Amino acid sequence: MQARVVSLSRTGGPEVIEWIDVTLPAPAAGEVMVEQTAVGLNMIDTYHRRGIYPMALPSGLGVEAAGRFVAVGEGVTSLAVGDRVASFGPDLGAYATARIYTAANLFKLPDAISDQTAAAAILKACTTEFLVERCAHVQAGMPVLVHAAAGGVGLLLVQWLKHVGATVIGTVSTEAKADAARAAGADHVINYSSDAVAPAVRELTQGAGVRVTFDGVGLDTWEASLDSTGKRGLIVCYGNASAPVTGISLGVLAQKGSLFNTRPMLYHYYEDPAERAAGAARVWDLIANGTLDVTIGQTYALADVAQAHTDLEARRTTGSTVLVV
C-alpha cells in the first residue's frame, strides 16, 4: 500500500517537516496496517520536532491518530480487518495517511466515539485520566490550579476535575480562552496577561494556596506554580510548552512549604495491559456519557501540519486540533 508520511532528517522549527511517499510492507506477526482518517496534534509533537525529546534521525513524527484496519499480520486475533482503532504511540509516525502499528499499541474504538473525536482526545484524555485519578489522586473539595486551562489537555482537566468535585482555578492568556475555560466548568479563571497568577490564587484560597497544580507550560509558569501551591501540596509538571524547567534546587520545595513535585509520563501509567484497558475504558465512558466534551477548536488538512505547529506554538489554538487525512 502507498502512503504519504512525514520524515524528519533534522530538528528545528516547523520548516523541518518534510513529506515523502513510501510503500508499506505487509504487516509482520503481531502487526496491523491502518488506513488513517484523522491525526491528533499535541505539544509533545513539537518537543520531538525541536529536539527537546531526543530521537534518532531520520524519524517519523506524531503519536495520536485514528483509522481502520486494512491488513492484519499473523497472530493478531483481538482485532479484524475493518475495525476502527486509535493510538497514542509510543512509536512516532502518526503524521501519515497509513502506517504499520504493533497491534498491542492500539485501542479499539466504541461505536459511540468518532474517528475525529478519538484523534482529538485519546492522548489528551488518557493523560487527563492518569493525572487526576492515578498521579495526583484529586479528591472532592480540593482547590486545584490548571495552567493553560483552555488548551487541549487543559479543557479536559477542568471537566474531569469538576467531575470528581474539585474547585478549579484556571489560567489563560485571553478573554476568549477565559470564556472557554468557564464553559468547561472552571470556578475561577485568571488571565495572566493582565493579572499576576500567584497573588490571585492566594486570594481565592484565603491565603492557603491550592492542593494540586497541573502545569503543562513549564519554565514560564514554574515560579507561579511554586507560589500558588499550598503547604505540602503537589506540583504536577506534565509538559514543556514554553521550555523545560531546569537548574532547580530541591531546597526551593522546602522553602515554599514542603512541596511535592513530579514529572510524570503517560506511557509509564499506560504500560501495564490491565491499566491500559481500565484507563481507556474510563475515558471512553466519560466521553460517551457526556461528562467530557471534547472540544475540537480547529481542523487542518494533514498536509498543512507545519502551519498547525506554528499556530499551536504561538498559542493561537483553543482546545484540541485535528489533522484530517
Q: What is the pLDDT of residues 184-216, one digit of tens each?
A: 999 999 999 999 999 999 999 999 999 999 999
- In b/e form, how buried is each residue of 214-242, taking b as 16+ CB within 10 angstroms? bbbbbeebbebbbbbbbeebbbbbbbbbb
**Which residues make Cβ contacts (< 8 Å) with residue 161, sequence separation at least 6?**
132, 138, 144, 146, 168, 185
List, by residue range, all CATH 3.40.50.720 domains of the chain.
140-263
Q: What is the CATH number of domain 2-122+295-324?
A: 3.90.180.10
Residue numbers of the chain with a pLDDT score lower than 70? none
CATH 3.90.180.10 location in the chain: 2-122+295-324
Superfamily of structural domain 140-263: NAD(P)-binding Rossmann-like Domain (3.40.50.720)
126: number of Cβ within 10 Å: 22
Amino acid at 281: A
Q: The whole model's pTM is what? A: 0.90
